[in-house]
A and B are shown apart, each in its own frame.
Chain A
């Protein structure tokens, strides 16, 4: 028996593929028809093929548990999520706009702090930000860009509109999975790629490479660029290695690098020391340089900050860029866009309550069972309270946390996250909630991925999409409206 869309019910949520009354939305039309044409066992065969492909490609991520690290196969749902190209173009423009403004903002914070002087953002918010690094004051990175690679999480509410949920300006991960998801889908649903005009995603590594090249402090033809990884035990190691390979550059660990008395960074090679121009670092600020930050860190490179401050090496992202992905700063991003660009934001923020503000804090505490409460600086979905899914005890615990450190908490209304059809059992399809993480690059030029990484909460009703907490992922199709002729 094949899929019966009449039984598919996303309730009041916006569904990415299916409109009201079981009608597929235009960009999903062919996909839905194709899925309908498959028998239950054919659908199951597709799923098994995807599973085998993932296993063979060795696409994995590492989960930290008390028993040690486990390498898990990448959880993947074979049904793609579709977005129309015209709709995506607007979102992409909004993402570029946002990153441009955030970079101007970060540059300003480490320079004149005009935005504080002009009263747009209160000084104490910045002063008390865990990610503000006084070591960065006065440094002038190339093109005035601090966050070169940004992963911004987008969600769609019940109205079908995109909202920004958060910006990740430190070491955002997931882009390799986006690329691998496409590679898997091409093997599993090859028929659709012939019929449908699906925009390709695979120029990302080349664009990332161009962005990194544009940061080189030396004006030489072939600057030496490396990816700096914390090592094989990092949850995103697969991605670090994947990107290095795709860009044809070295994947290095801290112990491979060395800062000499001339404040230049060198890598240890078979013919001696070789100078490095650009480091795409996938290590957090605090582990970058044991001379400045965590003294015991063996992941970083002693003297790296010295070399960066002297302008002898470019770091992407620059240290200190994380000051702008603080969730309290997030609430100010629309004002930041207006302030630096004199434009209206093209993508909205989710309504955010700052516990720092006494009135808003009172509202949060009074309505805690309806809200999502988040710490200002965590990522990966850790340390959150999802009001409607929480117990009284958990709520009381969070009220205590908020009162103890109001600056560190924000709250947002529980979003009616959009859904998409997801394979949940043999030939069985149900709606599951999802979000979208596009990746935005900014160096000399800027670029947005076509679509991004769609993350899906595999548990019924759950809103938690993080892979470290049992989330899965889907391929994301940006579909051109005009269909190609079938050849």
Chain B
């Protein structure tokens, strides 16, 4: 397969995942804010922090209010990570890899983009937001379903699998980090135990609520939530699960030695989830290290498979 095509497929999957994640994040945030004490300064702006987009946001907006944050995250075309920007990138990548994807994929993605672009205001206005974002998530699932149901498990598939799982791993570490940060901040500012609310929200943002209940058979407890999202062997958005998926994907690709090594390292790097522990600064450092592994992984993919352009030009 062409290096360029592999790269585009990888990004198609990453961006598609990003669209879905952003839609979920925004849609569960409403309910979280209702449940928190009013004196606590946890706001929509946390979503900007979570995605490390503070400086870009500051350039564009003065007020950190709901409308600006939601607009920035969903619709802003100067934010390359906004839902609509990511969807546009999905469309461009699919458009230039049509020949590798199922026949209906381009049509579906194109329709999806047209729908999202035409109705984006529904996402910004609170009244219709939930319904609109639900529709976005459904469309993502439709595209993923088409791909899963009809694509050969060849190299093209493996690159999409890498992109999807890397993006998911990235998201779950960010969500856990945001949870830990909110908890630290919350406990300093209010007398209330907000742990339950915060970690419940982390689960919901990862679409893990029911899976968690079934697997852990416990109420929402911070250590259990972290365990589930990091180590559960079956939950498809958990960190270890995503890393293992990538491991199996690279095994089916040529020249995969380096990628395999990085993945093994990331899997071996564990956090001791002792029941007596609180998820504080140490946990955040751990997550930060996992984020660095993910960045390294991505760079490794680039060097091994995508930048053959330079290799050939020598």
- Residue numbers of A with Cβ under 8 A of B are 55-58, 232, 241-242, 244-245, 248-253, 255-256, 258, 266-273
Q: Could you write out 29 A-B pairs with CB less than 8 Å apart? A: A56-B107, A56-B110, A58-B107, A58-B110, A232-B92, A241-B95, A241-B96, A241-B98, A241-B99, A242-B98, A245-B98, A245-B99, A245-B103, A248-B99, A249-B99, A251-B96, A256-B2, A258-B312, A268-B2, A268-B3, A268-B311, A269-B1, A270-B1, A270-B155, A270-B254, A270-B305, A272-B308, A272-B311, A273-B312
Known: A58-B106, A256-B3. A268 touches B308 (CB 8 A): yes
Is there a chain A Cβ closer than 8 Å to B5's Cβ? yes
Complex interface bits, B79-114 against A, C-beta within 8 A gives 1, otherwise 0? 000000000000010011011000100110011001
Contacts of A242 in B (CB 8 A): 98
Residue of chain A at shortest CB distance from B113:
A58
Residue of chain B at shortest CB distance from A266:
B312
Measured in the bound complex, the distance between the Cα atoms of B107 and A280 in whole Å is: 25
Known: A268-B308, A268-B311. A56 touches B111 (CB 8 A): yes
Among candidates B4, B254, B312, B313, residue contacting A253 with C-beta atoms closer than 8 Å: B4
Is there a chain A Cβ closer than 8 Å to B309's Cβ? yes
- Residue numbers of B with Cβ under 8 A of A are 1-6, 92, 95-96, 98-99, 103, 106-107, 110-111, 114, 155, 253-255, 305, 308-309, 311-313
Q: Evaluate contact between B95 and A270: CB separation under 8 angstroms.
A: no
Nearest CB of B to A15, in Å: 35
Measured in the bound complex, the distance between the Cα atoms of B156 and A250 in whole Å is: 12
Nearest CB of A to B40, in Å: 46
Measured in the bound complex, the distance between the Cα atoms of B208 and A89 in whole Å is: 64
Contacts of A266 in B (CB 8 A): 312
Among candidates A57, A241, A256, residue contacting B4 with C-beta atoms closer than 8 Å: A256
Measured in the bound complex, the distance between the Cα atoms of B88 and A31 in whole Å is: 41
Measured in the bound complex, the distance between the Cα atoms of B2 and A252 in whole Å is: 8
Contacts of A273 in B (CB 8 A): 312
Q: Evaluate contact between A57 and B107: CB separation under 8 angstroms.
A: yes
Among candidates B2, B5, B95, B309, residue contacting A58 with C-beta atoms closer than 8 Å: B95
Q: Evaluate contact between B2 and A250: CB separation under 8 angstroms.
A: yes
Q: Evaluate contact between B99 and A250: CB separation under 8 angstroms.
A: yes
* Known contacts A58-B107, A270-B253, A270-B308; 19 further A-B pairs (Cβ under 8 A): A55-B114, A56-B114, A57-B110, A58-B106, A232-B96, A241-B95, A241-B96, A244-B98, A250-B99, A252-B2, A256-B4, A266-B312, A267-B2, A268-B4, A268-B311, A270-B3, A270-B6, A270-B305, A272-B254
Residue of chain B at shortest CB distance from A250:
B2
Measured in the bound complex, the distance between the Cα atoms of B304 and A272 in whole Å is: 10
Contacts of A58 in B (CB 8 A): 95, 106-107, 110
Residue of chain A at shortest CB distance from B7:
A270
Contacts of A245 in B (CB 8 A): 98-99, 103
Among candidates B103, B255, B313, residue contacting A271 with C-beta atoms closer than 8 Å: B255
Nearest CB of B to A377, in Å: 31
Contacts of B311 in A (CB 8 A): 268, 272
Contacts of A55 in B (CB 8 A): 114
Measured in the bound complex, the distance between the Cα atoms of B3 and A266 in whole Å is: 12
Contacts of B313 in A (CB 8 A): 258
Contacts of B255 in A (CB 8 A): 270-271
Nearest CB of B to A357, in Å: 48
Residue of chain A at shortest CB distance from B311:
A268
The 10 closest A-B pairs by CB, nearest first: A245-B99, A271-B254, A268-B308, A58-B110, A244-B99, A258-B312, A270-B305, A268-B312, A241-B98, A270-B6
Measured in the bound complex, the distance between the Cα atoms of B249 and A480 in whole Å is: 52
Among candidates B5, B95, B98, B309, residue contacting A255 with C-beta atoms closer than 8 Å: B309
Nearest CB of A to B38, in Å: 47
Measured in the bound complex, the distance between the Cα atoms of B95 and A304 in whole Å is: 27
Nearest CB of B to A397, in Å: 41
Contacts of A253 in B (CB 8 A): 4
Measured in the bound complex, the distance between the Cα atoms of B298 and A326 in whole Å is: 51
Among candidates A56, A251, A269, A271, residue contacting B99 with C-beta atoms closer than 8 Å: A251
The residue in B5, B95, B253, B312 that gathers the most chain A C-beta atoms within 10 A of its C-beta is: B312
Nearest CB of B to A231, in Å: 9
Contacts of A255 in B (CB 8 A): 4, 309
Measured in the bound complex, the distance between the Cα atoms of B95 and A248 in whole Å is: 15
Measured in the bound complex, the distance between the Cα atoms of B99 and A252 in whole Å is: 11
The residue in B99, B155, B255 that gathers the most chain A C-beta atoms within 10 A of its C-beta is: B99
Contacts of A271 in B (CB 8 A): 254-255
Q: Evaluate contact between B309 and A268: CB separation under 8 angstroms.
A: yes
Residue of chain A at shortest CB distance from B114:
A55
Residue of chain B at shortest CB distance from A260:
B312
Contacts of B95 in A (CB 8 A): 58, 232, 241
Contacts of A252 in B (CB 8 A): 2
Contacts of B110 in A (CB 8 A): 56-58
Measured in the bound complex, the distance between the Cα atoms of B314 and A266 in whole Å is: 14
Known: A241-B98, A256-B2. A269 touches B308 (CB 8 A): yes
Contacts of B106 in A (CB 8 A): 58
Residue of chain A at shortest CB distance from B255:
A271
Nearest CB of A to B147, in Å: 15
Measured in the bound complex, the distance between the Cα atoms of B2 and A270 in whole Å is: 6
Measured in the bound complex, the distance between the Cα atoms of B108 and A57 in whole Å is: 8
Measured in the bound complex, the distance between the Cα atoms of B91 and A58 in whole Å is: 11
Q: Evaluate contact between A250 and B308: CB separation under 8 angstroms.
A: no
Residue of chain B at shortest CB distance from A58:
B110
Among candidates B5, B92, B107, B309, residue contacting A250 with C-beta atoms closer than 8 Å: B5
Nearest CB of A to B181, in Å: 39
Contacts of A249 in B (CB 8 A): 99
Nearest CB of B to A441, in Å: 20
Among candidates A57, A241, A248, A269, residue contacting B3 with C-beta atoms closer than 8 Å: A269
Measured in the bound complex, the distance between the Cα atoms of B95 and A256 in whole Å is: 17
Measured in the bound complex, the distance between the Cα atoms of B98 and A54 in whole Å is: 16
Measured in the bound complex, the distance between the Cα atoms of B107 and A56 in whole Å is: 6
Measured in the bound complex, the distance between the Cα atoms of B2 and A271 in whole Å is: 9
Residue of chain B at shortest CB distance from A56:
B111
Contacts of A256 in B (CB 8 A): 2-4, 309
Contacts of B308 in A (CB 8 A): 268-270, 272
Measured in the bound complex, the distance between the Cα atoms of B84 and A159 in whole Å is: 55
Contacts of B103 in A (CB 8 A): 245
Contacts of A244 in B (CB 8 A): 98-99
Nearest CB of B to A473, in Å: 20
Residue of chain B at shortest CB distance from A255:
B309
Nearest CB of B to A432, in Å: 29
Contacts of B111 in A (CB 8 A): 56
